């Protein structure tokens, strides 16, 4: 009889650093022929949480040879995951065991959302940038919008050019935080490729011994491109998030950093090992 392992997904898919408890659940999962995500405690999911779910499902389905079954989805959570195309884009790795009674309407011209989108080549990056411009320019008065979009495009291009992963994804979502009187736009990009150290080490062998050293180098503009510089203009994003009351999160391997601006940076080491690179950006503006 096939051995099944059920993982109770904690209600942390909205909080960047709290998501580490979800990764810990994945690392501790025993060997099994079938993995199941029990989503009964999950009340809400944000873009970075979606990227984490997808990455975890890719890992577990690779171990079992079967897609992860997702069960006990709340009505709104299920409708949202369906709306962003999670079960279409990620259907090879995770499948809903629940039936969705009512779907949210789809508007291809929406300025609220870029659905979960695979990053497989330059055409994808172009369409991602166009929709990102619609969303950001509609909701946020960003002085350096072109700089932000250029960096988002570079981060996405890095997925197919340097990560070695042909199945990375991006998701952008707008929210209204009525209690705080804010509009919030979040973007998340993730892959399971070689990571920032793997990308930089072939050209830069003297950065350091730890994954965090490579994250800091990427923040300073060091690149895997031929010139060695000019790629991943994350320092510019750091300045943009500072002026838009947001943050930038950068995670690779066992390290991460969260920055709210050039003088407000929090580093994290000895995290649960995760292949590839995960990036999250949040920007805020008054309603």
pLDDT tens, residue by residue, 70-95:
999 999 999 999 999 999 999 999 99
Can you give the pLDDT at residue 227? Answer: 46
Burial of 164 (0-12, 13-18, 19+ CB in 10 A): middle
Express as a percent the part of the chain with pLDDT over 70.
94
> In degrees rounded to 5, what are phi and psi of residue 54?
-65, -45
* pLDDT tens for each residue of 153-208: 989 998 988 899 989 999 999 998 777 788 999 999 999 999 999 888 777 667 87
Looking at per-residue pLDDT, the higher value among 107 and 252 belongs to 252
Task: Tell me which fold the domain 113-286 belongs to.
Answer: Heat Shock Protein 90 (3.30.565)
Q: Work out the pLDDT band at 229, boundaries 50, 70, 90.
A: very low
Is-same-fold flag (4-96; 113-286)? no
d(CA 80, CA 210): 38
| pLDDT mean across residues, the chain | 91
d(CA 154, CA 231): 7
CATH level 2 (architecture), domain 4-96: 2-Layer Sandwich (3.30)
Cα 40–chain centre separation? 22
Q: Is the pLDDT score of 224 beyond 80?
A: no
Q: Is the pLDDT score of 65 beyond 50?
A: yes
From the list 172, 174, 217, 214, the residue with the least C-alpha distance to 194 is 214
Please answer whether residues 76 and 106 qualify as being in contact, where contact means their C-beta atoms are separated by less than 8 angstroms.
Answer: no
Can you give the pLDDT at residue 228? Answer: 45
State mean pLDDT over 59-78: 97
Looking at per-residue pLDDT, the higher value among 248 and 105 belongs to 248
Structural domain boundaries of the chain?
4-96, 113-286
d(CA 242, CA 263): 9
Q: Is the pLDDT score of 64 beyond 50?
A: yes
Can you give the pLDDT at residue 1? Answer: 66
Q: Is the pLDDT score of 286 beyond 90?
A: no
Q: Is the pLDDT score of 230 beyond 50?
A: no
Express as a percent the part of the chain with pLDDT over 90.
71
Per mean pLDDT, which range of 5-19, 153-167, 241-255 is the poorest? 153-167
């Amino acid at each position: 009889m096939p051995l099944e392992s059920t993982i109770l997904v904690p209600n942390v898919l909205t909080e960047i650093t709290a998501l580490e408890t979800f990764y810990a659940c994945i690392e501790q999962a025993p060997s099994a022929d079938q993995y199941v995500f029990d989503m009964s405690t999950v009340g809400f999911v944000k873009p970075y949480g979606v990227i984490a779910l997808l990455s975890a499902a890719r890992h577990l389905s690779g171990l079992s040879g079967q897609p992860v079954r997702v069960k006990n989805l709340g009505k709104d959570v299920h409708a949202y995951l369906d709306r962003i195309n999670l079960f279409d884009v990620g259907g090879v790795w995770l499948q809903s065991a629940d039936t969705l009674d009512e779907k949210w309407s789809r508007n291809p011209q929406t300025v609220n959302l870029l659905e979960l989108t695979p990053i497989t080549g330059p055409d994808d990056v172009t369409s991602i940038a166009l929709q990102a411009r619609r969303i950001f320019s509609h909701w946020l008065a960003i002085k350096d919008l072109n700089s932000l979009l250029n960096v988002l495009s570079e981060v996405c291009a890095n997925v197919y050019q340097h990560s070695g992963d042909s199945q990375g994804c991006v998701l952008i979502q707008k929210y209204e935080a009525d209690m705080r009187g804010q509009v919030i736009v979040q973007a998340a990009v993730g892959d399971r490729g070689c990571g920032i150290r793997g990308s930089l080490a072939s050209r830069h062998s003297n950065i350091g011994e730890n994954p965090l050293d490579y994250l800091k180098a990427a923040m300073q503009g060091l690149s895997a491109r031929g010139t060695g510089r000019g790629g991943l203009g994350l320092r510019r994003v750091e300045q943009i998030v500072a002026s838009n009351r947001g943050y930038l999160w950068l995670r690779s391997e066992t390290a991460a950093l969260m920055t709210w601006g050039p003088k407000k940076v929090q580093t994290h080491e000895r995290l649960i090992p995760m292949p590839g690179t995960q990036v999250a950006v949040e920007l805020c503006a008054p309603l």
